[in-house]
Structure 1
Amino acid sequence: MAESLLFGLAESFIVKLASSAVKQASLALGVYQDLQEIRDTISFIKAVLLDAEKKQHQNQELREWMRQIKRIFSKAEDIIDDFECEALQKQVVNTSGSRRKKVRRFLSSSNPIVYRLKIAHRIQHIKESLNKVAEIRDKFGLHIKESDDRVVQRRETHSHVNDSDVIGREQDKQKIVELLFDDSDDKNLSVVAIVGLGGMGKTTLAKVVFNDKSVVDSFPLKMWICVSDDFDVKNLLVKIIGSAPDQNHQENIKNFSLEQLKNRLRDILAGQKFLLVLDDVWNEDRVKWEEFRGLIPAGAQGSKVLVTSRSDTVANMMGTYTSYNLQGLSKEDSLSVFVKWAFKEGEESKHPELMEIGKDIVLKCGGLPLALRTLGSSLFLKVDIQEWKFVRDNEIWNLPQKDEDILPAIKLSYDQLPSYLKQCFACFSLFEKDFHFNSFHTIVLWEALGFLQSPNKGDTLKDIGNKFLKELRSRSFLQDFIDYGYACKFKLHDLVHDLALYVSRDEFQLLNSHSDNISENALHLSFTKNYLFGKTPLPRGLRTILFPVGVNNEAFLNTLVSRCTCLRVLQINNSGYESLPSSIGKLKHLRYLNLEDNEKLKSVPDSVCKLQNLINLDLSGCIKLQELPNGIGNLISLQQLHITTLQSKFPDNEIAKLTFLEILTLVDCDNLESLFEGIEELPSLKFLDIYSCKSLRSVPLHVIPNLESLSIGNCYRLNLSMGHDNQIAKLRLKLLALESLPQLLAFPEWLQGSVNTLQSLVIVDCDHLKDLPEWLSTMIYLKTLSIQDCPTLLSLPDGVHHLRNLEYLKIKGCPELCRRYETKVGQDWPKISHIKQVIIESPELED
């Protein structure tokens, strides 16, 4: 199934071949012409990959052809990355001045002549292999399709619904009805949208609303059309006219001109209060929507358009009056739905053992009505306990599926993803269900694997990554999404996680007790169990490996480093290793090295600093680490650095060389007394987190002119004035978090420099903080304010009512504050009543 990612891989590879770095390197090595021929051959193959993806399921030979292409692409990608490695090594050498010879020895540069011959041979082999697979392209009868604007055939929907089939949606129905009756929107065409994951029951809910008596009485004219991919304006008008009652359906309006259709619709809607349902809308082209909306005449006051879609983007593009995000059913309602489809009425009481298994099956459905119906229907009239256990113990995708079942319904959303998002989505399959993702971790992983497109001018790869996350969220793939402004956290619905496993199998593998065989085509592996380690040989072309917790297998690690030299991502967390092999420095393609929470790790070899491609190095939680590897300044691509170390002096001179460093975290560095001494500027640093650095006394913030996020916690000796009596002129913070700081008596004046930029302020466990400055109420962009466990804090600034952008306020464990601002009854409640979400938690109030 991972062959479905081929189109995106081909696209990104063609872009790489066109880069200036590859051009310069290939010219210098005399292989430029060969690479141009490879690019042309890949373009020739790419033209039919979208059609091949659709047809591969019915043709084993076609699937094997695609696998061959995948293997060749992977080898070619390694060669191109080789060029980039050499370029980075030369950059380190050329910027090292008098240390030139020392650095040359450190880098162990290869013999130029031998390297040239080796690369030329490999490129020639790639070219010949590609030519062979390209020669048989026409054998499969594939159609050329150069762009990924695929159209998927979908079901046609109707407005009829059997009320007895709908369980657990009464409250949702009432909310939608209320929105339809709300006439406060003054737009000519008022739109209400129901948004949710495939299989969530959006269409069913819309049907229930459409047929509700109060809606029928309020809207004399009701029309229902299924849109799907058919957002052709003329076809939509034909459907709308055809769905209106009392029309001459014998008349062939399909032959009408656009103007004739518009006039006919105007006649139908004139003076009528109408409800138009547009079910299953996928179109994200605003131009098409504006054209369509311009042809729909305004009806009587209160007319509404009700839209169902899987995409928030669609809802926003249509200028909705409001969007209603449909959630899963409760456990009780889920069980009721399952029982309805699994048993004849009243029969469930006769099978208590099956009901117990059924409760487990219900949990795996995650509240999705369609999943509950699918699995319930598959067990109807079956009383064999083993058949029920089979359903309970299997992933839902392994079970027989009909056209209207959950797999086609949810996979449809995946099929609609552009190729670049499919690769990113596949990465989620490497993590277990209920894993809490954060944007920092996710985006750096995508970047390390080369899944992020080249940014436009003014954008960074982080911007592209955040755009991808927002797009996945808008398509209902992500849930429990919390946007902090500077970062976000989210989870995957269990069935979406299952979908990720299904569509990425073979190439991406999550190895657990249910799947312990490594595919020969695997490029990305994640181990969840220690005992699975070393059972089968690792594929040489491996790109990603995530170690299981508690591993301490030195032989396996040595084998991995020597065999899998093309690794991009290596994660070894919570292991029993005390040291790492020096040969790790040979993994020159490595971009992501996560050694978090290795509490026995005492040293990291200096050879790690040979990894010029490294963009993320995580040593946080390595509480016995004596010192950072020598030469860390040579990691010139490093963007994220997370540190725990016992050393007393911070390597300021080395850190100053990391000109791309954006994120720096220091945790449990108890011996460090100062940071950034002698550093003139860290221009790229945007995120600085300092926790439990108990000897730290000062942090000169003025050397970080572009700092956006600052978090400080449990640093008892830190002088929070930072040596600045007044505001820091260049400081433009978006987030500030202060936690467990008993020395904090009053807010530092330097924060005033961020009054026009701060969006989130978090204050936790600051026992002696007595008041907040009045200038805090001038922070006009502040969106979230959280104050917890600050018992001596008596009030908020008098001008808090001026914070009109404040959307979230939480006060917890602050007795006096909780009393004064208690919801609706506190003496100062009017000052904060404009805030959308207010949470007041106090033991006294709870009693």
Structure 2
Amino acid sequence: MSDAIITGILTQLWKIMEGQIFRKESRLAWGVEKEVKKLSSSLLSIKAVVVDAEKRQVMDESVKVWLEKLKDVLYDADDVLDEWMLMGEIPKKQSSPTYKTAVRSFLTLPCLGSSSRVALRHGIALKIKEINGRLDVIAVEKDRYKFDVLMGGGSECPDHKLKSTSFIDDVVSEAHGRDLDMNALLDNLLLLSSGKNNNNQEKEGLNIISIVGMGGIGKTTLAQLVYNSSTVTQHFDTKIWVCVPEAKPFDEVRIAKAILKDIEGSAPNLFELETAARKIRQSLQGRKYLLVLDDIWTEDCREWEQIFNSLSTGAAGSTILATTRNERAAKLIGGNYELHLGELSGQDSWALFCKLAFPERKREEREELEAVGKKIAEKCRGLPLAVKTVASLMRFKSTLRDWEDVLSSEFWELKGRAKGLLPPLVLSYYDLPSILKRCFLFCALFPKDHLIEANNLIKLWMAQGYLSSSENVEMEVKGEEYLQNLAMRSFFQVLEKTKDGKKILSIKMHDMVHHFAQYLTKNEFSTIELVHNDLEWRMEWSRKRARHLTLIRAEHTRFPTVPKVDKLFTFWVQSFYDSPPIISQLDKIEPEFFCHLASLKALDLSRNMIGELPKEIERMTKLKYLNLSHNLFWELPSSLCDLYNLQTLQLSACDHLRKLPRPIGKLIKLRHLEIDGTDSLKTLPKGIGKLISLHTLSKFVITRGNNKEDAETCGLGDLRYLNYLRGCLKIEGLGFAVDADEAKKAELVKKNHLSDLHLDFSPLIQASSQDEVIDALELHENLQTLHISSFGGTGLSNWITELTNLHSLFLQNCQYCTNLPPLGKLPSLVTLNLEGMNTVKFIGLEFLGMHDNAMNGEGRSSGSTAFPKLEKLVIIKMERWEEWDLNSKNNGIQDEDSIKIMPRLRCLKISQCSKLKVLPPLILHETPIKKLRIHNCPPLQQLYHKETGEEWSKISHIKNIRISQKS
């Protein structure tokens, strides 16, 4: 990791020495140029040996101490050079007309005054001189260790093609060598869930099953396989998964809230165990559930007593499945069955190793490597995590010599403090490029068992300067590549991906991987629990040199008063509050809080019930990442907009937030503005349109513009220059955009990175002008999901049919549309949802996109397919809809065999369509439909009733049918 820090610092130094802007001022700063060159020379000398030092630190504690001293100096150097770069930085010229405004706002910053700037550079020069002195001492010490001169891994990640990632996910999802364990676990679980014991007798009370085994043996993997199996899913009404936090003292409230959150989706305003327990009892009343408690550790069964009592209201057969390393803990909670996992057999270890190490290798190459590979697999001693990790490493080793080097590595025989580490993890870590080491070790910031959101992690990497943009690759894209690479090497467990499998959404670190990261960063990353408002963590802080601090705040503690910690780069006050709908007691941040965090690059204060942000936040000029989500702000101070280096501002679920600061256009480096879940935010300041670097903008709010205040808020045309927007965007208030010219100014067709767009015209107003507006809103063909709601015009524009990559389309509450566009022409559409189209009375071939062919006499030989990829069709609340006629002969097409309609349809749901008389025979017989839902449609309910319906025979072949009165 030190190698990556040195590389980053050298890059900054070279920019300083090469930058013509700084040269004159450097001379004025009393010899700073000389000190900068000396620093560069010292770092180059140390960089040559640091790779060897980092490898030796695991085996030699004194080397580890030397590296810790070095990293302390490197962090100080990095911080000082950040100050230098920030004072002299001027935005690059943009082609946008917002450039002049952006530069003007930047140049008004006090720190860029001429005389004060030279004085500040003199202060920095003195700091660099002091750092050089410390490096001289460290350089002398390094000579004692006789380090080998080695080339570092470089700062960039190797260009590995990640095509095998999905294959690795498949391997991880299998229980290699666990067939007998899997069958035994399933048999006992299903037997107990039936409400009977092993003697086939009726059983009362809660069932408890335990999986016991050492770390890395596969307990959680086996529990996941059982939890996700279709057989188990069919036996339970509800499934719940909770990772037990290793917090001391035992935190019953957090566990109870986690259970409730997994059941209901949220657990707000619950601060007492009894309150949470009562809610659990109510939620599980009469329901048969499976609850997985992953990694229980406490040996005091009394600590579980109240939680287990709250679980007793479930139906007979409800079961707890617990995983634990602690056999005593399993005994004390009691149970009906214990499964003890042992090591994998040699044969199973080798089979797992081969699946990960040998894909896509030629037979000759595999035969050459097999003998060494078997010896490497044997060294893993039957531990699945060890096998997966070292096999993932060997995929990148191409020669026999490389494999023999791994086999003979000294890391297989770890001693001393390092003895508890997993040797394959150490081997794989030191094989990483230096920048990937740094990205991986940063995850020591997160507490054990924490669910890490991939996008958030990448934004934190950006804030630390680990990711750099190039002409061809964005920082965010590079971060995704790094994440994929680390997952391929088994440093992360991938928990969720996008539906297409291309992007990782969330990850976790295995306990042993997390322990390894903490071992290497114990003086850089600190996690401290704040209990009883005693702030004992201050005493511990005095023994630490942490640069990244996670403070876990119990729910009954007040917001912390922070001592002077001016070397901190990352600070996360982790809390478990959810923002209540009604403000009661607010936490207060003292102005001094921000004065004590001068070097901070990333600050996370989410979920802390904060009601006001002091204006002194402006002092944190190095801040690049700020998370204020799930707090109680009504508004934010204008001084927030002086954080001119800010890249990420997260305000999600700030329910009470009414407006953003007017000068927000000064945040010219802002790339991610997350304001989803802010229902009280009804306007956006005009300056949003100047943020031309924005990649994320959760929603864009348009106001009517009838008064002076509204004139300073966003109109639709202010989207014009935001062409880097990607992901999801919701445009609210389109009903106020009565001018088609204004709609054209938005230039949505240039937003080619957007994948998900919601056009919200609410409040619903019948207006013919909205037809002109929607016609002017031409969209880019890359769009994948489109949602149009509360449209007040009479017809939707046919440009929809030009969206050739559209996967999902939702038309909601468009009550005045008399006809539907020819949606059958959409070649990629998978999901179609029509809701509240109350004026539509008839659906025919125009819906399929075949009506024009019929009129032109092309139907006889068209051979066309309508909705070629549609799998799910949902039609809800179309109260005037009477007829659905897809009969081609009735519509002028004679050659019916040449027409295909919805050849992939799997699910059809019709709800609250009270006048629809019959479903089209073509849909029922010609499509491979598997699921049919009919709710609150009296004519259809009568017609297709299983016992009395005249047309039951026409749907009886469908496997999954539900016809009911309730929607």
CA distance in 2, matches of 1:63, 1:170: 46
Provide the C-alpha distance between the structure 2 equivalents of 1:37 and 1:462, rounded to a whole number of angstroms.
34
Q: Corresponding residue for 1:23?
A: 19
Q: For residue 568 of structure 2, what is the aligned residue in structure 1?
A: 542
Residue by residue over 1:440-495, the C-alpha shift from the partner in whole angstroms, topping out at 9 and shown as x without a partner, is: 3222211011111x344311111201211222332342322312579641231553
Q: Is contact 2:669-2:691 (8 Å) kept? A: yes
Distance apart, 1:546 and its partner CA: 1.8
Q: Deviations over 1:51-98 (max 9, x none)?
A: 222222444432222112111111111222223322346879998879
Of 7, 13, 22 in structure 1, the residue corresponding to residue 3 of structure 2 is: 7
Aligned partners of 1:650 and 1:674 also within 8 Å: yes
Q: Aligned residue for 1:471?
A: 485
Which residue identity lines up with residue 137 of structure 2 in the other structure?
Answer: K
- Residues 559-596 of structure 1 show CA distances to partners (whole Å, capped at 9, x for unaligned) of 33111101111122233333222221111100111222
Match of 1:144 in 2: 149
Task: Say which is worse superposed, 787-796 or 642-651, in terms of deviation.
Answer: 787-796
Residue 323 (structure 1) aligns with = none
CA contact (8 A) 1:21 1:84 kept: no
Contact 2:59-2:418 within 8 A present in 1 as well: no
Higher relative contact order at CA 8 Å, sep ≥6: structure 1 or structure 2? 1
Check conservation: 1:540, 1:564, Cα contact below 8 A. yes
Measured in 2, the distance between the counterparts of 1:524 and 1:165 equals 40
Does residue 347 of structure 2 align to residue 207 of structure 1? Answer: yes
Contact 1:233–1:288 (Cα < 8 Å) also in 2:
no
1:646–1:669: 8 Å Cα contact kept in structure 2?
no
1:763 paired with 2:768, answer no
* SS of the residue 1:660 aligns to: coil
Q: Does 1:700 align with 2:738?
A: no
Give the match for residue 73 of structure 2.
72
Which runs of 5 or more residues in structure 2 are unaligned? Answer: 27-31, 158-175, 186-214, 223-342, 375-388, 403-414, 580-584, 705-709, 851-863, 878-883, 885-901, 909-918, 936-959
In the alignment, structure 1 residue 458 sits paired with structure 2 residue 504: no
2:757 maps to which of 711, 723, 727: 711
Give percent identity, aligned residues only: 19
Return the offset for 1:103: 7.0
**Equivalent residue, structure 1, for 2:527:** 510
Alignment of 1:419-818 (within 5 A): 419-432=434-447, 435-452=450-467, 454-476=468-490, 477-483=492-498, 488-492=504-508, 494-495=510-511, 496-497=513-514, 500-512=517-529, 517-518=540-541, 520-530=544-554, 531=557, 534=560, 537=563, 539-549=565-575, 557-599=590-632, 601-643=633-675, 644=678, 650-652=684-686, 654-666=687-699, 675-677=715-717, 680-687=720-727, 689-690=729-730, 697=737, 700=743, 702-704=746-748, 705-707=750-752, 708-712=754-758, 716-717=762-763, 723-724=772-773, 726=775, 731-738=780-787, 748-755=797-804, 757-758=805-806, 760-761=807-808, 763=810, 773-775=821-823, 777-780=825-828, 785=831, 787=833, 797=848, 809=871
| AA matched with 2:347 | K
Secondary structure in 2 aligned to 1:79?
A: helix
Query: What amino acid does structure 2 have at the position aligned with 1:675?
Result: G
The 2-side partners of 1:725 and 1:740 are apart by 12
Using a 3 Å threshold, how does the CA distance of structure 1 residues 499 and 164 change in structure 2: closer, same or farther?
Answer: closer
Q: Distance in 1 between matches of 2:356 and 2:509?
A: 26
Aligned residue pairs, count: 643
Give me the whole-angstrom Cα distance separating, in 1, the residues matched to 2:398 and 2:793. 54
Asked if 2 retains the 8 angstrom alpha-carbon contact of 1:597 and 1:622, the reply is yes
Q: Distance in 1 between matches of 2:925 and 2:416?
A: 58
Q: Distance in 2 between matches of 1:108 and 1:128?
A: 28
2:444, 2:507 → 1: CA distance? 12
* Distance of 1:99 and 1:51 partners within structure 2: 46
SS of equivalent to 1:528: strand
Measured after TM superposition, the shift of residue 509 of structure 1 is: 3.0
Distance 1:435-1:457 versus aligned 2 partners, 3 A rule? same
Residue of structure 1 equivalent to 2:384: none
Q: For residues 102-117 of structure 1, what are the structure 2 equivalents within 5 Å?
A: 107=110, 109-110=112-113, 111-117=116-122
Residues 1:24 and 1:508: Cα distance change in structure 2 (over 3 Å): farther
CA distance in 2, matches of 1:625, 1:10: 42
Deviates more, 1:611-620 or 1:683-692: 683-692
Deviations 1:266-295 (CA, angstroms, capped at 9, x unpaired) = xxxxxxxxxxxx993634559879x99xxx
Structure 1 position 139, deviation (Å): 0.8
Q: In structure 2, what is the Cα distance between the partners aligned to 1:737 and 1:845?
A: 29
- In the alignment, the residues of structure 1 paired with residue 637 and residue 619 of structure 2 have an alpha-carbon distance, to the nearest angstrom, of 12
CA distance 1:729–1:666, change in 2 (3 Å): closer
Q: 1:211 to 1:590 in 2, by over 3 A?
A: closer
- The answer on 1:132 being equivalent to 2:123 is no
Q: Secondary structure at the match of 1:19?
A: helix
Cα contact 1:662–1:685 (8 A) shared by 2: yes
What code does the residue aligned with 2:482 have? F
Which letter maps to 1:82? E
Aligned match of 2:46? 45
Do 2:390 and 2:424's aligned partners in 1 also have CA atoms closer than 8 Å? no
Correspondence for 1:331: none
Kindly provide the amino acid, as one letter, of the partner of residue 646 in structure 2.
L
Q: Give CA-to-partner distance per residue, 1:518-571, whole Å, 9 cap, x none.
A: 462211122332438548745321111122335989776433311110111112
The two structures have a TM-score, normalised by structure 1, of 0.62
State the TM-score, normalizing by the size of structure 2: 0.55
Task: Name which of structure 1's ranges 582-591 and 425-434 shifts more when overlaid on structure 2.
Answer: 425-434
Q: 1:104, CA displacement in angstroms?
A: 5.6
Give RMSD over aligned pairs: 5.5
Question: Residue 14 of structure 1: SS of its match in structure 2?
Answer: helix
Distance 1:521 1:487, change over 3 A: same
How far did residue 840 of structure 1 move? 7.5
Amino acid at match of 2:138: V
* DSSP 3-state at the match of 2:591: helix
CA contact (8 A) 1:727 1:752 kept: no
Cα pair distance change 1:791/1:199, threshold 3 Å: farther
Cα shift readout 1:586-641 (whole Å, capped 9, x = no counterpart) = 11100111222322x23322222221111112234334445322321111111112
The separation in 2 between residues aligned to 1:622 and 1:787, in whole angstroms, is: 30
- TM-aligned CA deviation for residue 210 of structure 1: 8.8
- Equivalents in 1 of 2:488, 2:832: separation in Å? 27
User: Structure 1 residues 239 and 467 mapped into 2: Cα distance closer, same or farther (>3 Å)?
Assistant: closer
The gaps in structure 1 that reach 5 residues or longer are 151-162, 173-196, 213-222, 245-277, 293-398
- Structure 2: which amino acid aligns with 1:681? Y
**Is contact 2:84–2:124 with CA below 8 Å preserved after alignment?**
no
Equivalent residue for 1:168?
A: 181
CA distance in 2, matches of 1:525, 1:407: 26
Residues in 1 aligned to 2:783 and 2:570: alpha-carbon distance in whole angstroms: 34
Verify the 8 A CA contact 1:479 1:492 in the aligned structure 2: yes
When residues 429 and 785 of structure 1 are mapped into structure 2, their CA distance, relative to the original with a 3 A threshold, is: farther
Q: 2:692 touches 2:723 (CA, 8 Å); kept in 1? A: yes
- Please tell me whether the aligned partners of residues 591 and 614 of structure 2 are also in contact (alpha carbons under 8 angstroms): yes
Give the CA deviation at 1:232.
13
Q: Is the 8 A contact 1:227 1:236 kept in 2?
A: no
> Which letter maps to 1:632?
I
